A and B are shown apart, each in its own frame.
Chain A
Amino acid sequence: MTLYSLIFYFFAVMTIVSAVYVVTTKNIIHSAVSLFITLFGIAAIYVLLYADFIAITQIMVYIGGILVLLIFGIMLTNRITDVDLKTKNLNSIPAAIFVTVLTALLIFILLTTNWKIAPFPSQDNITINNIGKLLLTDYLLPFEVASIVLLIALMGAAMYSRKEKTN
């Protein structure tokens, strides 16, 4: 077994175990911290797939942004004075059966499919260079639309969540 496989299995197990903990624990804060470990493991998987730029983006955006936003939401929507930030699962057993069957079916399908495997174009530091070129040539329109989407989302979220003035 090579070092690459060892690293892959380590991060894959870490990701899956912490993801299972995210969806099964009763404590919401534990769930958020566990999601942090999951997102870190996924960033490591990206590095194993030669996607260094995406891995850094993942850490900065998901862990630095979305996770902080989620914890902020948890703090704002639960009474802090009650010490227990607890929650329950509904219909756990039917949901678990349904999800297990669906996952097994998907894994069966992708194992029996004959994927076309091609080598990665060239392995010396090309991803950031090519991503930059693609963003400003082929993907220029989606790039600009994404900036407008972000602006509208920012304004909409600010407008939607502020308190109404009563007169």
Chain B
Amino acid sequence: MEVGLNHFLILSTVLFGIGLYALVSRKNAILVLMGIELILNSCNINLIAFTRYGGLGVDGQVVTIFVIILAVAEAAIALGIILNLYNNFSTVNIDEVDSMKE
């Protein structure tokens, strides 16, 4: 079967599902962050697939660059938060961090 738009969309949907699974079931905060990266990547595949098959010019690729930039900023901030969490609670398991004040 010839590879077309649907193949890329299915690939990105499956990646989205896997990332969502990491978001709802992982315990370690850094692994939850990896799930967010997977979801952002699936969104990028969608944008680029529609750039290729939608006949809309390369605007989708420019938007993809902005998504990557925001992913970098988000990863840096999230790791700062996780390091702070570790300093305060000595754990990064998000089910054990359940008090707002020590």
A residues near B (Cβ < 8 Å) are: 1-2, 4-5, 8-9, 12, 15-16, 19-20, 22-23, 28, 31-32, 35, 38-39, 42, 45-46, 49-51, 53-54, 57-58, 61-62, 65-66, 69-70, 72-74, 76-78, 87-92, 95-96, 98-100, 102-103, 106-107, 110-111, 115-121, 126-127, 130-131, 134-135, 138-139, 142, 146, 149-150, 153-154, 156-158, 160-161, 163
Instruction: Decide if B34 touches A32 in the complex (CB within 8 Å).
Output: yes
From A22, A50, A65, B22 is in contact (CB under 8 Å) with A22
Instruction: Decide if A51 touches B70 in the complex (CB within 8 Å).
Output: no
Given contacts A117-B53, A153-B76, contact A12 B30 (CB under 8 A): no
Given contacts A31-B31, A154-B76, contact A54 B65 (CB under 8 A): yes
* Residue B98 is within 8 A (CB to CB) of chain A in the complex: no
A100 to B18, CA, bound (A): 9
What are 27 A-to-B residue pairs whose CB atoms are below 8 Å? A5-B2, A9-B3, A15-B15, A19-B38, A22-B18, A23-B22, A28-B28, A45-B45, A46-B44, A49-B51, A51-B51, A54-B68, A87-B27, A87-B93, A88-B27, A89-B27, A95-B24, A100-B17, A103-B13, A126-B58, A149-B70, A149-B73, A150-B72, A154-B76, A160-B77, A160-B80, A161-B80
